Amino acid sequence: MGAQDLSSPFDEVFSRENTGSVKFDARKAVFGREDVIPLWVADTDFAAPEAVTQALVQRAQHPAYGYSLFPDGLYQSLIDWFRARHNWTIDRASIQMAPGVVPTLHAAAMAYAAEGEGIIIQPPVYPPFFSSIRKTGRRVVENPLKVRDGRYVMDLEHLEQCASQPDVRVLFLCSPHNPVGRVWRVEELEGVLDIARRHQIVVISDEIHADLGFSDRLPHTMLDTLARPDDPLLTTVAPSKTFNIPGMGLSRRKDLLAELRRVFDTADMVHCNPFSAAAFEAGYRDGGPWLDAMMAYVQSNRDRTMAFVAERIPRLGITDPDGTYLLWFDCRGLGLSDGDLKRFFVEQAGVGLNPGISFGEPGQGFMRLNLGSSWSVLELALSQIEAAVRSLPSAT
């Protein structure tokens, strides 16, 4: 891609401090200092779409904020968005609103597996995949991704072995994958569905990054568009990554939704926040042009970052992503332990990243960086990383 237009609204840098932002206001607690450049939590530092802001202002101008319903317009904007963007037709009756993807993972673990039974994950993967299983008393079954020709792929042969265990009930699929940025190919997804059918495994497909594909790569395929009507599949999506606003679960199988709803009802988990609903509806209804511009900017950030690292920090590697605004840094060439690696980036580079080890054992020696900031912020962070790496002894 060419150079970014310096007049882009995504070039704007504004303070998020003292707004209750986890990414900024938790730096002291997480990194031990407040002055690191925060490139960790998976949200962006971009201003929300104007349509979202206006919807929130309009809702705030009504003086009553009491108990609320999910409005019809919200459902319709969601249905229209996925039909237009992903060629996915959703029946309204198949939609279950939820407080977010992570609570849905917890609820799904309880709904579809008994205590002690197994749930498959594919590390390195989003840390709540681990915690939602362990906290609910279920058993983590790991089907690690493999690296082939510098690219992460699913180990479907090993997945079959995992699924064939008699007490394994569920697969948590991350699609697109966080943190490695893979957009899975149709044949890979069909392989997952075939295995699930053979072994009667419920697939929970976390597709929260579905909208964040790059224009120079294959588009994301919603797993449900490949499924049969009787496949045990639940898809979770949310506008939280797309527009920085928090989710829901969707399934063709009414019996699956009934089990999920039972858990939600038991925990009294689902309530409608009128502001979230207003933002949600506006984003899906009017946020398309903003998203296209944002992803073009992030794609340029990806290309610039990869070029910077290749030219100026060759001891670091990057897994070239198909989508998301996340980069998976291979830091094994620095010769540091995982504990030393986190300290190095904080204390020597002044940058706050996610340690790869938090994504499971296959993440040892890696760090995750968030591209969802202005290029000026990323360039400063990369320059600080470059200087810090130069201060290390040469690799032996």
pLDDT of residue 1: 39
**Residue 80 neighbours by CB distance under 10 Å:** 13
Closest CA to 235 of 246, 247, 218: 247
Q: Is residue 56 part of a domain?
A: no
pLDDT of residue 248: 60
- Mapped onto helix, strand or coil, the DSSP state of residue 167 is coil
Q: Is residue 178 part of a domain?
A: yes
Q: How many CA atoms lie within 13 A of 243 on its CB side?
A: 28
pLDDT of residue 247: 55
Look up the CATH number of the domain holding residue 296. 3.90.1150.10
Domain that holds residue 309: 9-49+289-390
pLDDT higher than threshold 80 for residue 219: yes
- Kindly indicate the confidence band of residue 4, based on its pLDDT and cuts at 50, 70 and 90: very low
Q: What is the pLDDT of residues 49-87, one digit of tens each?
A: 999 999 999 999 999 999 999 999 999 999 999 999 999
Query: Which structure tokens are listed for 191?
Result: 């392989």
Q: Tell whether 236 and 365 lie within a shared domain.
A: no
Q: Tell whether 384 and 314 lie within a shared domain.
A: yes
Q: What is the pLDDT of residues 111-139, one digit of tens each?
A: 999 999 999 999 999 999 999 999 999 99
Assess contact for 92 and 83: CB atoms under 8 A: no
Q: Tell whether 108 and 224 lie within a shared domain.
A: yes
Q: Is residue 256 part of a domain?
A: yes
- Kindly indicate the confidence band of residue 6, based on its pLDDT and cuts at 50, 70 and 90: low
Average pLDDT, the chain: 94
How far is C-alpha 35 from the chain's CA centre? 25
Q: What is the pLDDT of residues 260-284, one digit of tens each?
A: 999 988 877 778 889 989 999 999 9
Q: Tell whether 296 and 329 lie within a shared domain.
A: yes
Residue that finishes a domain, picked among 238, 255, 286 = 286
Torsion over CA: 173, 179, 181, 182 (sign): negative
Q: What is the pTM of this model?
A: 0.94
pLDDT of residue 396: 47
Q: What is the pLDDT of residues 16-54, one digit of tens each?
A: 999 999 999 999 999 999 999 999 999 999 999 999 999
